Structure 1
């Protein structure tokens, strides 16, 4: 089976290279420029406060992929499997970030909290829907640090 994806847009922001691990992404404001021919697909998106942005960490080298990683550099907890982490060094470089939608104009979305650098390809956009995207019974590993 061969899966191919084409970017639907690009991230535009002031972050031009991967920052330090302690960088506060939640304050970053970015624009997502969709291909103009896809703009109609954003109709009524402003009725949502938050969006899930699916993007490709395109600067993560494939040779850097590892099956065991330190989660966000937290070495005190030991390594975890890549699928139990949010590491960008994955077999398929795909990432998802929940962002706040600030503005929608034409084919451009202004969002806050997207942890992607300038020029990052966007693969898809999905609205955050509380009943679908959260579960009251969900738990997280004890090594996940709250920020």
Structure 2
């Protein structure tokens, strides 16, 4: 996989809460792409961003289960049943608000990636690709998200 751009943000540490207050930029690599690559993207209110948790050391990659955020009052859950940073392939995914497009720079809000994060891909969020049917999640997941955004 090839990095297509970089996140520029005032947040340079992975703090687990208040991401919706963060406005960032995604700078798409002009050596790989022309402005045509983002043509009509401004017609969408939100985008999905795939990125790399590039600062997670190998020793923090989870291959089993753990208590989310280290909280023992929450159940142990497997890495594939949570959205923590210590993922096997270090790939992150976030749906964030697209504020504006300026050339190959995307201004976004609510992207939970820190300054310098490599971006792998960007897709427009389309309701038709959202969940179909009833969405269910455990109570601990709702508690985690209470202050995340």
| TM-score (ref. length: structure 1) | 0.89
The structure 2 residue matched to 1:106, chosen from 60, 79, 103, is 103
The correspondence of residues 116-131 of structure 1 with structure 2, limited to 5 A, is 116-131=113-128
The structure 1 residue matched to 2:27, chosen from 29, 33, 38, is 33
Matched, 1:92 2:89: yes
Q: Which 4+ residue blocks in structure 1 deviate beyond 4 angstroms?
A: none
**Structure 2: any 5+ residue segments left out of the alignment?**
none
Quote the RMSD (CA, aligned, Å): 1.3
Aligned residues: 141
CA contact (8 A) 1:69 1:87 kept: no
Return the offset for 1:69: 2.0
Q: Pick closer, same or farther for the CA change 1:73–1:46 going to 2, 3 Å.
A: farther
CA contact (8 A) 1:62 1:90 kept: no
CA contact (8 A) 1:31 1:109 kept: yes
The correspondence of residues 1-147 of structure 1 with structure 2, limited to 5 A, is 5-19=1-15, 21=16, 23-36=17-30, 37-38=32-33, 39-66=35-62, 67-144=64-141, 145=143, 146-147=145-146
**Structure 1: any 5+ residue segments left out of the alignment?**
none
Aligned-partner Cα distance in 1 for 2:28–2:71: 35
| TM-score (ref. length: structure 2) | 0.88
